Structure 1
Amino acid sequence: MAKALSLAEIRTRSNGFVVDWRGEPGEERQQAQSFIRDLLTVFGITKTKAGLYEKRAQRSSTGRQGYIDALIPGLCLIEMKSAGKDLLQAERQALDYVDDLSEIESPRWVVTSDFHNFRVLDLHAEANDTETFTLEEFPLHIEALAFLAGYQTHSFGDEHQEKASIQAAELMAELYEQLEGSGYTDHEASVFLVRTLFSLYADDSGVWERDSFFEFIETRTSEDGSDLGSQLAMLYQTMNRPTENRQKNLDPLIARFPYVNGGIFSEPLAIPAFSSSMRDTLLKACGFNWSEISPAIFGSLFQAVKDRTARRTLGEHYTTETNILKTINPLFMDELREQFATNANSTTKLKKLRRDLGDLRILDPAFMRKLDVSRDIGVAA
């Protein structure tokens, strides 16, 4: 299963992309989809996957039906125009489409191009920062589109991330309620949600090729949801088995998913019975950008999903990560970050620091839980 490409590989691919499209006339109608699919391939998104991102939409200003050239839900909208057309005007049209999208589908980045020029708008940045460059300059500006390969800049504790974490918990609560209403036991629903949450997060964070789980739900299950439970059971069973021990005649899409150790998929579960509305909820969850959630905030919210009363007030009562860090930074985080910075050039000392982090236990008196601090200082577990 493909993971996020290195920036070096992306730069190599971008040079080939420039060669392939240099001198092309740049006709919107005839060449837009080919251009987009080749562009996404530079960042590791297959041409088949790119086809899933074509979407009909409505312009909020006119009410007329339009066509978004490509929408990666929760991440990026791409709008193409013929060579020489005004990209600022194209951007306005793209934002017109954004206004009509659901909050979950709404992208962070808007990319417009006339085949010879690019304009990249970050809707979450202050003053909506924009970067522009030509096709020939593309290899020098791959960082501007590196989010397509899973490279993103997160500001832990910012308002947008806190809002995204609440939305993510609400999606899980909606799915839990539907499972609960279908007769699934509390334990089965909890295990199923954890597995599904892992798959949703992996879909957006480079654990495997982006949106593979979304593609599986979209293309391998019926709209009425009748076979969704059995298909998910097959997928989760497959991810619990090393690739060399799998059946030889597996669906190629299922076979692409990696072996996931640690036991998350090991417990046998009854196959859940889904309806069309439950499938729609899961697809809506697939459209959410799970890489934007704050683990610190979402973890506490996720605990409330199983409580009927707490579900009704999700997001109303929690301590923001900003306020959490105000307390723990001077207690121990600042010191740990200083150790990490001091030892950054020593493999031996970094390995020792990682071992020390593994032995470190912090008591949270409010919840009587242990905190994993390794993520916050940038040391991989």
Structure 2
Amino acid sequence: MNPAEISDALAALAAKPYDPVEFPFEFAAATDNNPATIAKLQNGSFNKSDLPGGVLMNQKFHFAPALNGMTSVTLDALRANKRTLKHKPAILITSDGVEVSAEHLKSGDTLHCAFTELGDRFGFFLPAAGKERYRAAEENPVDIKVAGKLAKLYDALIRRNPDWAAEDRRHDMNQLMTRLIFCLFAEDVGIFPDNQFSRLIFTHAGDKGEGMREVLISAFTAMNTSRDKRDALPAWTREFEYVNGGLFAGAIDAPMFDAPSARYLRDVSAEDWKGINPDIFGSMIQSVTNAELRSELGMHYTSVPNIMKVLGPLFLDELDAEIDRSWDRERALRQVLDRISKIRVFDPACGSGNFLVVAYRALREREITILSRISELTGGTQTEMWSVIPIRNFYGIELTDFAVETAKLALFIAEYQANAQFKEAFGRKPADLPLRDAANVVCGNALRLDWEAVCPVPEDGGEVFIAGNPPFLGSTNQSKEQKADLAHVFAGQVESFAAFDYVAGWFYKVSLYLRGRTARSAFVSTNSLCQGQSVAAFWPHLLRDDLEIGFAHTSFKWRNNASANATVMCVVVGLRNRSGLPARLFSAGVSMDTSNINAYLVPYQNIYIEGTRNGLFSLPPMDYGNKPVEQGHLLLDQAERDDLIRENPGIKKFIRPFMGSNEVVKGTTRYCFWIRDEELLEAREFEEIRIRIGRVEAFRRGSTDAYVREKLLPRSHAFKQVFEAKRHTIAVPIHTGETRPYLPVARFSSDVIFSNAAMALYDAPDWCVAVIASRLHLVWISTVCGKLETRFRYSNTLGWNTFPVPKFTEDQLAALTKSAMAILRCRLTHHPKTIADLYDPDKMPEDLRAAHKANDDLLESMYIGRPFRNDTERLEHLFKLYAARVKKLKKGAA
């Protein structure tokens, strides 16, 4: 069973009346356990539990029924039970029929939910099915109120000093905000004495802030000057500690304040800054200073769970496993600590530092865990408890200087907070001031800079982990400068790079950095890089004999925390030097180990699907529909068609239904003039047709395309292509929404003309409907053809002509034809509902769903004798068939 099937099974279980005797066996069945094993469990031969009414299924789960309102108490009993400790089941579970309480024995994660929510919480119970549950770290909320007050301060200062909004002063304004925020944070958390900064500036700046500019300049200058060299500064500045760290280095200036701006500064200084999250610190400041991000202050940042999808499998999960293995051995733990001390984290598109901060914080947390355990093992006799993780081990590249400064500042704050946790655990920490090492974040264009110069290969045997979320920009959205960046990266190395997404430049540069080094990488990417024609053009240059994909997340919706932010379908791809170790593939929150992950993020050998005009398998040819190239002059809407026929009934002969993707899916209607060459003289007898042809001639005569002027102009009564069926047409829209459970396909009479917004099989056998309408074909198209935004993009050369099918027998073709007709007849019973209505995933009629399920089972049994278990198995088999066919064809050609 795949996770969706487990979800459905648990939902069905939750909908039934609760029976404490039958529940554990029904739960075992719902989590994909073998029926024979469940039968033995029921007769007692496999039941290891000694609790009243309890059922223990080896390493899967341990259940005990609970009295009303006593699920938490029963869960405690399960946790303490000797049989639990001996057999180590993945899940502990109890219920009283109203509530369910459960726990992951290994991690200690608990769940308390209503019994009716079992299906909704299926992810928690996947370990009972032998499937790993990948749990990203929980994110912390940001204080929107602080960001809002910062924005008011920023706006007030710009109103008073409009010249500070100009391009040449923007850096100064951003730097001012960065310094103010650091000072406000510092006085709230104890880096400065309590309220020192706000007390001093408001004491000396005047009632209405008239002296604030001079006060801030003096304060910031003092923080960059040792106390013994402040003679030229006001005496009150001697209270400030020497800060250093580059934060107050360079030119120091401040704008003029007035009463409103001074009041907003007072308001924001009154907020409690202790709870600020360094992982979103820089992004919050950018929200304040960037008008485009102002609508949702403090919300425009990459969330921690998304960042952990990258950092966890890249190196943190491995460190956790190493800590677990070393838990009872002091020497082994010190070796892990030594490893951590030498780790470099490098984000070559670091923005305001989110990835670097989360990585730093995660390593410091693990450091405290290790040192605490060493202290336990040595009886607390160890005295050398100091952090070995400096922020100088964190590297970044960012295009804007303000983001560079905020990234460094966010890491300073993360270091302070980690040191505070260290003191809580061990009773001491380094002095807060002066600031020491800074992160190695440089300002520049990552596609132009030498990455080795930014993050040199460690000479101490350390590892480099490169991670981040580089910018996504399709080729049509790239500026001239960005296109030039890609040319700088790929020219002379990779052909046909012009169609690549901008993020491809980061992947290529990281592949050059990794080769032969103790380094690994993981980037977020738009999923277009792992779909469609980009795969065969791009990935062979990366996945040569020396590099491989170490882990990947298949397509998921990547959102930052702005509710209005557009959803982007993304993947995460981790690269490493070839190792012989298993690769780890994540899909829908479930992970699996495999020997290889290819560039389509399928667990199969490296293979590249290339479009072909000739079908590789026994499928009839598929063409585009007809491309008009007539500026709409041969097209009509319903009203125009009806008016023309009413006035001239004979003109009906030359008007045909005209359909593309929208018409097929939404059931709308358009028409076109369809005039065969031999009918042109007859058609020109109608004035409307003569006028329309004249307009097409004028349009084509003025075209900049020589083909249009020379080839199409003489045939201005017709479309560019002239495809029409003799009996019927099977049509497939080129674009369709990704939420539909099946690709839309429909069968039409020969009277219908199709546009180039649809693919068409002219006079093809009806069994083709059964193939196109299958789950098997959907997963192939979604993997091989790619998407436009979040919509599937159908291709005849890349999707249909390459689709692997077995050699069907006549009986099988007859069965498929019957299945196709069953689907089409079922749709007719729901007339006038359209394909858009019928294939809405939440409203699909059950009889239509059943017809498709029967079609899937029939077709898939022709491949392997049974239905496939899940999409991964489907893709593995399809890739295997494709590889075998290509090999056979190459052998025949040779």
Normalised to the residue count of structure 2, the TM-score between the two structures is 0.23
Normalised to the residue count of structure 1, the TM-score between the two structures is 0.50
Q: Which of structures 1 and 2 has the bigger CA Rg? A: 2
